[in-house]
Amino acid sequence: MHALIQAIILGILTGGVYALMASGQTLIFGIMKVVNLAQGAFVVLAAYLTYTLFVQFGVDPFASVLITTPLMFLVGMGLQWALLRPLHSDDVAQLSLLVTFALELGVEGILSFTYSTTLTNIQPSYANFSWTVFGFQVSLVRFFAFVLSLVVLAVLYLVLKRTKFGRAVRATVQNPMSAQLLGVNAQRVSALGFGLGAATAASAGSVFGMLNAFNPGSHYDLISRLLTVVVLGGLGSIGGSVVAALVMGVASSVVSAEASPIWSDFTFFIVLLLVLLLRPRGLFGARTRGAL
């Protein structure tokens, strides 16, 4: 029982970070109808940026979120402008899927060239600190990573609900045609949306680098998990992907603690297939074109 509760606590804390990564990916899909396979590579890229900032300049990994997030926002906008916007309109879905895959490979290539393929890890002085709460272990890094994720998600929520850009995004997600008729600049919204997606990857990446050992190839593991999260949550639904990320975090943590870690991801893939069998739109996929 103790182990089970411990596993659930861990699962929720880890799930929070995945929720952050997945929210960016599902946002990009909602706006552009593009499955961004490079999201995992963005996370790893941000982890390496954070690593360099920490090792070279002594910037605290949590503080470096303030640097990496805006930086990756700009990088994301640039990439959308250079690579996704010029695609021909027929078969955009397939082409953009492959373009983001190429992007993923390219990022991996640059990272392997700049750094090495050996596993790295960000080790601030407090990396191993943990509290004991009612006999359960709560690690400081994990806890603050979770808090950070909540904060960024809240900011994202406010941006989407309260700003003019947010209204344009929601209009585009619901109906791109009428949004354009109402004067929303679709290309601008797409660029900003892709930037925001990359930015969430960046803030998640900074903490990911403290929680896990990573190398330039780590994006494969990340993207396979992120894809299942966003599909389970219903592509385009941020709320859905947050719930799905938490469910996934808890499920894989409980399965590894109670059964065996070799089956933890597997359980999740099976759940995904079953859900798709019953509800091809995912758990929270709305009937209309995506909902935020």
Partner 1 sequence: MHLHQRRGLSRARLWGVGVLAASALALSGCAAASGTPSASNSAPLKIGISLSLTGDFSSSGKAAQRGYQLWADVANKSGGVLGRKVELDIVDDASSPDQVVTNYTNLITQTKVDIVFGPFSSLLTVPASRVASRYGYSFIEPAGGGPSVFDQKLNNLFFVQPAESTRGGDVFANYILSLPADQRPKTAAYAKLDDPFSAPIADSIQKRFEAAGIKTVYNQTYPSETADMTPIVAGIAAAKPDVVVGGTQEGDAFAQIKAMIQLKFNPKWLYEANGSNSPGDFPAAVSSANTEGVFGSIDWYADSTVSGSAKFISDYIAKFGGDANQIDPTSAEAYSAGMLLQEVATKTGKVDNATIIKTLHSGSWPTLVGTLSWDATGKPKGEYLLVQWVNGKLQTVYPAKTAQTSPVAPKPNWAG
Partner 2 sequence: MKALLARIGVVRAVVFFGVLIVIPLVTGQIGWVTNTLIFTIMYAALASSWNLVGGYAGYPSLGHAAFFGLGAYSIAIIFNGSVYGGYLPFVVLPLVAIGAALISLPIGWVAMRTRADVFAIVTITVLFIAQTLAFNFNTVTGGAQGKSVAPAPFDVSTYNWPFYYVMLALLAVAMGISLYFRKTKIGLSLATVRADEEKAHGVGVRVTAVKLIAFAVSCGLVAMVGGVWAYYVGFVYPQFAVDPLITIGMVLMTFLGGRGTLWGPVLGAFILVPAQEFFAFTFGASELYLFAYAAVFLVIMLFLPRGILPSISDRLRKKRAAANGILRDASDAASAVSAQPAAHQTGVTR
Would you tell me which residues interact with partner 1 (CB under 8 A)?
Answer: 2-3, 6-7, 10, 14, 112, 116-119, 121, 123, 127-130, 132, 137, 139, 211-215, 217-218, 220-221, 253, 256-257, 260-262, 264-265
CB-nearer residue toward partner 2: 117 or 121:
117
Tell me the site size for partner 2, rule CB under 8 A. Answer: 50
Q: Which amino acid is at 102?
A: A
Q: Which residues of 116-138 are buried (b: 16+ CB within 10 A; e: fewer)?
A: eeeebebeeeeeeeeeeeeeeeb
CB-nearer residue toward partner 2: 93 or 158:
93
Q: Which residues from 19-58 bind partner 2, rule CB under 8 A? A: 29, 33, 35
Q: What is the token pair recorded at 159?
A: 């941006």
Least Cβ distance, residue 189 to partner 2 (angstroms) = 16
Please provide the distance, in angstroms rounded to a whole number, between the alpha carbons at the two ends of the chain: 37
Strand pairing class (130-133; 136-139)? antiparallel
- Tell whether residue 94 is a contact of partner 2 (CB under 8 A): yes
> Where do the H-state alpha helices sit in the chain?
2-32, 39-57, 65-79, 92-114, 140-162, 164-174, 176-181, 186-211, 219-233, 238-258, 264-278
Among 56, 134, 183, 262, which residue sits at the site for partner 2 (rule: CB under 8 A)?
262
CB-nearer residue toward partner 1: 16 or 282:
16
Least Cβ distance, residue 144 to partner 2 (angstroms) = 31
